[in-house]
Structure 1
């Protein structure tokens, strides 16, 4: 499994919407999943478990703290 430092934006409405603050963050996901979503328009899953279809500018949102913790733990 290869993970990258790529942050991904998220759509405000998804098939798996759950109430919470995770819609206010950029999330980490596998690069291959991000590319697949861009070409095929499918939902992807972030490290934290959030499912969404990337569509917004990820640079405008802070990184999801759960994704960040998981990613940093994988670096050890």
Structure 2
């Protein structure tokens, strides 16, 4: 048997890389909530709680882009009339 590490002439190998977020225990139950603009970063830096449109109170510590949008926050946001402020952060 010969050296199996070489490719046959004219053949190619394609490597596809996929990145998947790494979740901690319980993350599958988490949502990205809407909070007042400017409060999210302050809360993450200072460790202070925020209140989402849906009423959830928590201290944010994870990237909200890794989670689906809270359906209750989304429903409330869609029913709000637009004002000067562009609205809450996710």
TM range (shorter): 0.5 to 0.7
Structure 2 runs not aligned, ≥5 long: 1-24, 83-90
Structure 1 runs not aligned, ≥5 long: 1-11, 13-22
Q: Which has the higher Rg, Structure 1 or Structure 2?
A: 2
Higher fraction of strand? 1
Which consecutive aligned stretches of 4+ in structure 1 deviate over 3 angstroms post-superposition? none
Higher fraction of helix? 1
TM-score of the superposed pair, with normalisation by structure 2:
0.53
TM-score of the superposed pair, with normalisation by structure 1:
0.62
Q: Which of structures 1 and 2 has the larger relative contact order (alpha carbons within 8 angstroms, sep 6+)?
A: 1
RMSD: 1.9
